[in-house]
A and B are shown apart, each in its own frame.
Chain A
């Protein structure tokens, strides 16, 4: 009896193994077709991504190692372009202008964003109107925004000075002709244009905080400030971090407002890094130098983002 059963067992196992093999083959074939499908479906996006994202990064670095101008011979200069931009005082000025704008604009735009979000979240009558009104300028293009503000701030015929005159400030102010006022003007236009975006992000964060928290705190005798300080702010921390990072990156890329409103002036005092890259590459036809500057801009921006994430998560 025993040997027979063993033989039977063996036969059973063999059958099982065979079946497994068939399944294995099938799934191999299936896997292959699945992989094929995966790459096929990915390829259109990957084509664009590698062509217009990865390749330019590599090519940009290569260009930065050459003396490269359209229509002329190229000469390899190694890191010569980098060396020369670090000795270029205009580059340092543009970089410090850019950092200055990041420093003045990020806190202002974050705080105004929170304030507007609090107003819109306060369940006032006409909340929908308030929200749309604050967001509205964001859908206009930077060209329209700059044009409106240039006219608003123009001396003699501008709205701003007319309003100031009516409240007793009679000196004619030349908003775009002095360094500090020019920065203030660019900042004003930027707030008006972009703070709606930050407001919407903060609003979404505020709406995720349950009402019970506030009710419980009120019952315990907390006032509005306590509620804001000990409930809203801590629970909004994630969104604040997000907005600070997004905002400082956006401010670092400042170009449209300053180019269209002041053209970098008076002199070069509001010329930003992006504008200097544009002028070096497209007006002076020094593509190699401009490319090196782009790389520096890129690295500084990544540093910014890393430092901010570290700093904000440490504060916990």
Chain B
């Protein structure tokens, strides 16, 4: 091994140079957003030496938080993402548990119908969904955004696959001890599936946080908007200057950035699990 390693070395150096120069280029748009957001209005933003020199200012942030409902939008986004994730985890776990452990009549049929839903993109049902929301008076409500997301079948599939792998003996032993089905779900299946649940939760949260098309259609009241819908609305008035829109971008991204930096390993692992299975 040692000999092999030393032989590969020139290649490794090249790989290092390539990888790290690429990652720097990759991060430039992000860094540019961070820096321009703290530059005073009208300062040159394309000359590197000017960019990294003071003056820096927090005025853009102050302006955005005073002139856009950014805190309200952040709250809406957080609320919708949290409720969607919690509801999805609870309901899909219950459904997956039944489909995996109880061979009732129609089990296969129900599972088949749910899985077929994986092929239905939201984009194809926006018209009937919108008309339904109009009919039931749900337009411009949190429910109009949360409910359709909860119906997504991915969670049922992921959790059922995991539940199928839990050994039957474990369930039988618990039944011998007198545990009923509800108890078995709560104290065996839920704790055992913690990592699958975390993966599904992360996936659901990110999807909800970044959901664009449906909230864009269902929400027209500025007070009810989520960040992805509110931000372009606010920015549409600032096409010429970029320091203020960039500060808005930063504020809209901060919650996600903080969560990502704290939980990056879990998030990336979780994404891998939802896709690979």
Contact = CB atoms under 8 A, between A and B. Distances in A.
Quick one: which of B32, B90, B276 has the most chain A CB within 10 A?
Answer: B276
A41 B98 contact: yes
Contacts of B129: 52, 56
Q: Is the interface of A mostly helix, strand, loop or mixed?
A: helix
Interface in A250-292: 252-253, 255-256, 260, 274, 277-278, 281-282, 287, 290-291
Contacts of A125: 16
B86 interface: no
A55 B253 contact: no
B264 A49 contact: no
B128 A136 contact: no
Contacts of B275: 197, 200-201, 204, 242, 246
A131 B126 contact: no
Contact of A41 (B16, B95, B248, B260): B95
A144 B276 contact: no
A134 interface: yes
Contact of A143 (B97, B120, B231): B231
Contact of B127 (A37, A63, A133, A135): A63
Query: Looking at chain A, what size class is its interface with the partner chain?
Result: 35 or more
A41 B235 CA distance: 46
B123 interface: yes
Contacts of A215: 1
A136 B260 contact: yes
B147 A45 contact: no
Contacts of B125: 53, 56-57, 60, 294
A249 B228 CA distance: 22
Given A201-B275, A291-B128, A274 B268 contact: no
Interface in B209-232: 209-210, 212-213, 217, 227-229, 231-232
Contact of A158 (B46, B127, B150, B231): B46
Given A60-B127, A134-B26, A294-B127, A141 B252 contact: yes
A41 B189 CA distance: 14
B153 A49 contact: yes
